[in-house]
Amino acid sequence: MRAELRGKRDALLSRIGIRPVVMGILNVTPDSFSDGGLFQARDAAIARAQRMVAEGCDIVDIGGESTRPGADPVSDADELARIEPVVTGLADSIDVPLSVDTYKASIASRVVELGAILINDVWGLQKDPAMADAVAEAQAAVVIMHNRLAKDDAIDIVADIRRFFDRSLALAAKAGIPDERIILDPGVGFGKTARQNRDAVARIAELGDYARPILIGVSRKTFLGSLGGRVEGTLGGTLAANLAAAAGGAAIFRVHDVAEHVAALKVFHMIRHGDR
């Protein structure tokens, strides 16, 4: 990783825990569940990222393959073709760091060369056996997200999340990824029932003993509709869930609606912690 990227990486990591960190979502896909097709064109994607930066996001997370249930898999070549021009265009045109949402080692290695500082892996280093080594070699930070191949309403989802994290953290340690570069994500909306998604948010505090930052991604997700009427896809439902997550100890918030979350989380933080 280039020296200037290491500086961006370390500056971002140093802010986590001091105040809420907002990650803006930029999907350059035709089929993502909320904004698929809106930002496929390079210029549209760059304009969207610049707007999120102006609204106060701390990092932009770029995705080139939809991870919604039932989405078609994308080849490495096609994923990189979607991502590369956007990462390249943003690396030198915005001040905030870039993250890439991928579970593929080859993509991870390439996007760090292009200017990303964080890999957001929805399979927590467990899908691609080369991913942990790729992240370590690239000196990137990493989000380890919990995921499941299928839903199972009978399990205690937090216990399952802990077992998954333990396996992922063992892979990270073996590869030599430093602890301070690891972020955990309970994976709301991935392989979970509506009740388990609720529990994953409500019980975030039970993950505190990992002593690593928790990222939460609830933005516009369907499970919100099971909690209080037709709020899936709405700003109000997403804000409420993110504030509940913040109360439980979440530190990073992956969202579509940046300005509103920056404002809401600032108020939350000031009420809970004052000026510090």
Tens-digit pLDDT profile for residues 2-20? 999 999 999 999 999 999 9
Residues of the chain with pLDDT under 70: 31-40, 68-70, 226, 228-233, 276
Q: What is the pLDDT of residue 37?
A: 52
pLDDT of residue 178: 98
- Among 48, 82, 220, 254, which one carries the catalytic annotation? 254
pLDDT of residue 274: 84
pLDDT at 70: 66
Number of residues that make up the chain:
276
Q: Give the CATH number for residue 191.
A: 3.20.20.20
Strands 118-121 and 141-145: parallel
Alpha-carbon distances, residue 206 vs 133, 216, 250, 259 (angstroms): 29, 14, 11, 29
Q: Half-sphere exposure of residue 261, counting CA atoms within 13 Å on the CB side?
A: 37
243 within 8 A of 13, measured Cβ to Cβ: no
Handedness of CA 16, 254, 192, 102 (dihedral sign): negative
62: helix, coil or strand?
Answer: strand
Of 74, 136, 137, give the one whose Cα is nearest residue 101: 74
Which residues, other chains included, contact 48 with Cβ-Cβ below 8 Å and sequence gap of 6+?
26, 38, 39
Q: What are the phi and psi torsion angles at 17 (to 5°)?
A: 95, -20
Selecting among 221, 230, 266, 272, the annotated active-site residue is 221
Q: Give the pLDDT score at 40.
A: 66
pTM score: 0.94
The answer to whether 31 and 64 have CB atoms below 8 angstroms apart is no
Q: What is the pLDDT of residue 29?
A: 85
- The pLDDT score that the predictor gives to residue 161 is 98
Confidence at residue 34, expressed as pLDDT on a 0 to 100 scale: 53
What gap in Å lies between CA 143 and CA 12, rounded to an integer? 13
Count the domains in the chain: 1
- 151 classed as catalytic: no
- Of residues 66, 103, 98, 72, the one with CA closest to residue 85: 98
> Domain limits at 246?
3-273
Active site residue 221: yes
Residue 229: its pLDDT value, please? 60
